[in-house]
Chains A and B, each alone.
Chain A
Amino acid sequence: MEKIKVLIGKPGLDGHDRGAKVVARALRDAGFEVVYTGLHQTPEQIVATAIQEDVDVIGVSSLAGAHMYLFPRIIELLREQGADDIPVFGGGIIPEEDVAELKKAGIKAIFTPGTPVQETVDWIKENVKPG
């Protein structure tokens, strides 16, 4: 069976990459193919990488309060480029009330601090099909 390909992205200027890297590694260990963008990516760069790498799902992480701009902007760009079949999930320091709004904007799931990595693995298995 073809492997699910995941892009883990760090949008914006935030340097907190512990969570993104731990998740990237856990997803690789769980058998997914993982591409990590590295830090300080613009939403434009993340979407370009996702399309170029032909990924099945995008995970983005933000811990510096800019998620309300950065996450929806990624959805918007995917839509503009006809790639909105790629689901996007997010993680980081994200207050409860923002979670609802982000979901409305099209983010499929949000994993906040304290989430076992397995939960993210299971979510991907249930919601993403390899393309």
Chain B
Amino acid sequence: MSCETDRQQLGARQQAWEELYARATARHPERLPQFTTVSDEPIKNLYTPLDLQDFDYLRELNYPGEYPFTRGVQPTMYRGRLWTMRQFAGLGSAEDTNARFHYLLEHGETGLSTAFDMPTLMGYDSDSAMARGEIGRCGVAIDTLADMEVLFDRIPLDQVTTSMTINPPAAILLAMYIAVAEKQGVGRDRIGGTIQNDMLKEFIAQKTFMLPPEPSIRIIVDTVEFCTKEVPRWNTISISGYHIREAGSTAVQELAFTLADGIGYVQACIDRGLDVDDFAPRLSFFFNAHLDFFEEIAKYRAARRIWARVMKERFGARNPRSWLLRFHTQTAGCSLTAQQPYNNVVRTAFQALSAVLGGTQSLHTNSLDEVLALPTEHAVTIALRTQQIIGEEIGVTNTIDPLAGSYFVESLTNRMEKLAMDYINKIDDMGGILKAIEVGFPQQEIADAAYTYQKQVDEGEKVVVGVNKYVMEESLPIELLKIDPAVEKRQLQRLQRIKDERDSAKVEACLQAIEDAARNNKNLMPPLLEAVKAYVTLQEICDTWRRVFGRYSDPGMF
């Protein structure tokens, strides 16, 4: 019997089943007027082989570790090694955060992830007027190399990899990290880790911006160029969809805008004269794990397939490592509720499971109290244990990509790929991602999606347990982490001491060298390294940049 006859027979059977379904729902209507994902994508009642016509296993999926990597980037996946359990941490002073790092490493965490406070993220020192009330509040305050020395005290940087969530001043923090490692006797060729260094998504979503887009991209390309030659194990850009999703995008928008950003960076590096196969293997990605379980899994699988095709077909990369989309995942902070906060443990567990079933390389699970404050040690331990239970108790890591071949999951993967490519093509037609950002296209799409979702929640069309359904009068006291106000005072004292003790003529010379490199299109990394070693502060460097390149401020549309 031919495939065609099979399909015709199946078509007839399916029609009969649809009639059966219609008769049943005529008697007992469906629960909801329509079934949609959290991103408002319609979902059918059933998926069958008829949804996967012309599906070619080798073309669409192939084997794990083989192009287009839909089933995973490594041949062994979690049978070889579990994902890196990397909890984002940063609180108060460098001493406090160093203690949290040691705590996490002692309890089985396998990589570090640093959260900086807002002044550090925005390029201000603790003694700036802009920093008032914000020092150490949502991360660790870093003003100079002295703070970084404390932050990584007794942490062997040749054995642990570190992710640093930092954007406008990413090049400066990278320089500080290299300097700390070298003081420990670890050469820059042996350190590993990631700087987020993704400014495009800042303009689109997270809004931690400092310089206008073009110089922002230029500094990023400087870091890529430098690391390609000197810091070969460093992931130079963590191309991030996480914040796009947190800002309220749909899953498809997260996928599309993130990959469009990636395309923007690859093109910028090629325009600098770099060979795609020299830098592309060190690009990595960062996605959100939101509530809609299968939609998320489809998103990760589609992301790998699209990126592999883009790198091979569009950019002509020949090194298979350039084709790989490796990614970190964080569960969705925006899905957590202040109401009945223990429910957040459950939400986070399902989200983490979707990331694992989607083949993530690294994972942060949110703590139940993060909707209220920075996590306590107790809450962060439950979050880490959630990952360990997924990895070692429930059996989902025994085989690779266990959902492959599901009519539903493959259909959804195909659909997400198609919808994301529609966006990517539209952005190409607009002249690329920088042009699209200039006219506010991704920003407006996200704002619209966020507003639509909020209205659906307010009207009860989308259920949020404990918020618009199953509401309880409660006052469940949960212990919250407080940042000691003394942190601010100690930080200011340390900064003052460093400023008093350092060689001020050297500081001036270093800043002059940075300005010179900035104005003359010379790679900024070598003068930055010299500067941080001379204890030039973060803000002194950023002020130089702001003077040379100008500032970017929020257009304030809503």
Contacts from A to B (Cβ < 8 Å): 8, 12-18, 20-22, 24-26, 34, 36-40, 42, 64-66, 68-70, 73, 93, 95-96, 112-114, 116-118
Q: Is the CB of A13 within 8 A of B118?
A: yes
B543 interface contact, C-beta 8 A: no
Q: Is the CB of A12 within 8 A of B133?
A: yes
B554 interface contact, C-beta 8 A: yes
Least CB distance from B353 to A in Å reads 24
Q: Is the CB of A118 within 8 A of B134?
A: no
Could you list 19 further interchain pairs (A-B, Cβ under 8 angstroms) beyond the known A15-B207, A64-B138, A65-B137? A15-B202, A21-B450, A21-B451, A36-B558, A38-B556, A39-B207, A39-B554, A39-B556, A40-B122, A64-B118, A66-B133, A66-B134, A69-B132, A69-B133, A73-B133, A112-B338, A113-B336, A113-B337, A116-B468
Q: Is the CB of B337 within 8 A of A114?
A: yes
Nearest residue, chain A, Cβ from B372: A95
Given contacts A26-B454, A95-B373, contact A18 B119 (CB under 8 A): no
Within 8 A of A (CB), among B531-558: 553-558
B419 interface contact, C-beta 8 A: no
Least CB distance from B482 to A in Å reads 9
Within 8 A of A (CB), among B323-338: 334, 336-338
B82 interface contact, C-beta 8 A: no
- The CA-CA distance from A8 to B138 in the complex, in Å, is 23
B130 interface contact, C-beta 8 A: yes
Q: Is the CB of A22 within 8 A of B464?
A: no
B467 interface contact, C-beta 8 A: yes
User: CB-CB < 8 A to A26: which residues of B?
Assistant: 451, 454
- The CA-CA distance from A53 to B79 in the complex, in Å, is 62
User: CB-CB < 8 A to A12: which residues of B?
Assistant: 118, 133-134
Nearest residue, chain B, Cβ from A118: B458
13 contacts between A and B (CB under 8 A): A8-B558, A12-B133, A13-B118, A13-B119, A15-B208, A16-B246, A34-B558, A36-B557, A38-B556, A39-B553, A42-B130, A64-B118, A114-B338
Q: Interface majority SS on B: helix, strand, loop or mixed? A: loop
Contact of A18 among B124, B133, B246 (CB under 8 A): B246
User: CB-CB < 8 A to A39: which residues of B?
Assistant: 207, 553-554, 556
Q: Is the CB of A13 within 8 A of B122?
A: yes
Least CB distance from B367 to A in Å reads 13
B339 interface contact, C-beta 8 A: yes
Given contacts A69-B133, A95-B480, contact A24 B558 (CB under 8 A): yes
Q: Chain B interface residue count: which class?
A: 35 or more
Contacts from B to A (Cβ < 8 Å): 118-119, 121-122, 124, 129-134, 137-138, 202, 206-209, 246-248, 334, 336-339, 371-374, 447, 450-451, 454-455, 457-458, 464, 466-468, 475, 480, 483, 553-558
Q: Is the CB of B124 within 8 A of A13?
A: yes
- The CA-CA distance from A13 to B139 in the complex, in Å, is 13
Least CB distance from B207 to A in Å reads 3
Contact of A66 among B118, B129, B336 (CB under 8 A): B118
- The CA-CA distance from A64 to B134 in the complex, in Å, is 8
Q: Is the CB of B118 within 8 A of A14?
A: yes
User: CB-CB < 8 A to A16: which residues of B?
Assistant: 207, 246
Contact of B373 among A21, A25, A65, A118 (CB under 8 A): A65
- The CA-CA distance from A37 to B557 in the complex, in Å, is 9
Given contacts A14-B118, A18-B246, A39-B556, contact A65 B138 (CB under 8 A): yes
- The CA-CA distance from A78 to B557 in the complex, in Å, is 25
User: CB-CB < 8 A to B338: which residues of A?
Assistant: 112-114
User: CB-CB < 8 A to A64: which residues of B?
Assistant: 118, 134, 137-138
Nearest residue, chain A, Cβ from B120: A13
User: CB-CB < 8 A to B246: which residues of A?
Assistant: 16, 18
Q: Is the CB of A113 within 8 A of B133?
A: no
User: CB-CB < 8 A to A73: which residues of B?
Assistant: 133
